[in-house]
Amino acid sequence: MDKYFGFRAVKSIMWIKTFNVGKMVVAVLVLAAYSASGERKIWAQEKKSVVYVANEGSASVSVIDSVAMRVVAALTVDAGPHNLALSSDGSILLVTHPSEDKLTILDINARKVKTKISFPGKPHGVAFGYDVKSAYVSYESSSRLVVIDPNTEKVRRQITLDRPPHNVAATRNGGVWVTSLASPALWLVDAKTGRIRAQIPTKGVPHDLAVDPNGKGLWVTDWRSSNIFFIEYAEGAIPRVIQVGTSGKVPHHLVVTPDGKGVWISNHHSDDVTVVDGVSRKEFTRISVGKRPHHVAISSDGKHAYVANSESNDVTIIDAIGKKAIGRVSVGKKPHGIAIHDQRRTFKSQ
């Protein structure tokens, strides 16, 4: 028999209940437990997303509660917060400040700055490794990829590259994909040895990138066209670059859904996002958002997307299943980077 919150249950029942909160549908796992005397106690488990947004023009990180659809906190950081990376457990948030030559490490549980790493070279892109003991930061003006330990706050390795790195994405086997606005190629760097595992030419200028969760390759936006690329890549095999045409203007940033079946791309000059079918590699639809969209984040269940709009100073919330915008949340000035963490909250409902 299970023990629930101070009394021994002889029978328990679970079911899912949904509630409409504004335009959001919230799913709640409900547990009813009965004691031997027939006493009933009910607990519910609510799942929600917490969204973090770097406000480049107001030196802050907004914290959005996805259920309430509002900002619940604003964390003060140094000037020019640009890109974000959140640890898988949601406890550490990394913030790059290119204009200040700084990387901020935020303690999310305490909601305060843990430390700042000052390192010359214009830190831009940032990503956590899969072991959570490593994070990778591209230093654009000094052509370095820097490996840090976010827990000890120490620099573990500096890797010199022959082109200024822009954005980065980690692989499961210790590799780091790197783009450069000064090259039509992208690189796969071994984070442990510093050697280049692969260099793949394209017919564009790779900008942002996201690794396919099924291990089939990676998706890349092209800085100078309306195309994106899918790079079929496997260790030891010849890579294949597949060009995917889209109808949005200036595809900028992108994210892949957790199941790999969808690719969401922000279009910087048409104020919308394009959704591409990750299997057929064809454009499915476009969805209007705010002005000058930058980064996009997807909830772990794939049901909602969040888009940071830099000129309208807000975040668009999208029903990712129905492919329609369902709300806007005002944040700070010039929002750019965005990160998301899903939480579960258990509470007594009766």
**Could you tell me if 110 and 154 lie in one domain?**
yes
**Could you tell me if 116 and 226 lie in one domain?**
yes
Instruction: Return the DSSP state at 84.
Output: E
The partner residues of 190 in beta bridges, in order of sequence, read 175
pTM across the whole model = 0.86
Question: Do the strands 60-65 and 70-76 form a parallel or antiparallel pair, or are they unpaired?
Answer: antiparallel
Structure-token match 């959001």, residue found: 24
**Could you tell me if 331 and 297 lie in one domain?**
yes
**Could you tell me if 12 and 119 lie in one domain?**
no
CATH number reported for the structural domain that contains residue 215 in this entry: 2.130.10.10
How many Cα neighbours within 13 Å face the side chain of 111? 11
pLDDT tens for the 350 residues of the chain, in order = 333 333 334 444 444 444 454 555 445 444 454 444 455 554 455 567 999 999 999 999 999 999 999 999 999 999 999 999 999 999 999 999 999 999 999 999 999 999 999 989 999 999 999 877 899 999 999 999 999 999 999 999 999 999 999 999 999 888 999 999 999 999 999 998 999 999 999 999 999 999 999 989 999 999 889 999 999 998 778 899 999 999 999 999 999 999 999 999 999 999 999 999 999 999 999 999 999 999 999 999 999 999 999 999 999 999 999 999 999 999 999 999 999 998 765 444 44
What is each CA distance from 283 to 192, 218, 227, 274, 319, in whole angstroms? 37, 17, 11, 7, 18
**Could you tell me if 270 and 146 lie in one domain?**
yes
The partner residues of 325 in beta bridges, in order of sequence, read 318
**Could you tell me if 88 and 36 lie in one domain?**
no
**Could you tell me if 243 and 263 lie in one domain?**
yes
Range of the domain at 156: 49-348
**Could you tell me if 193 and 250 lie in one domain?**
yes
**Could you tell me if 198 and 233 lie in one domain?**
yes
**Could you tell me if 36 and 65 lie in one domain?**
no
Sign of CA dihedral 111, 114, 120, 125: negative
Closest among 307, 327, 262 to 20, alpha carbons compared:
327
**Could you tell me if 12 and 152 lie in one domain?**
no
**Could you tell me if 81 and 131 lie in one domain?**
yes
Domain count for the chain, please give it: 2
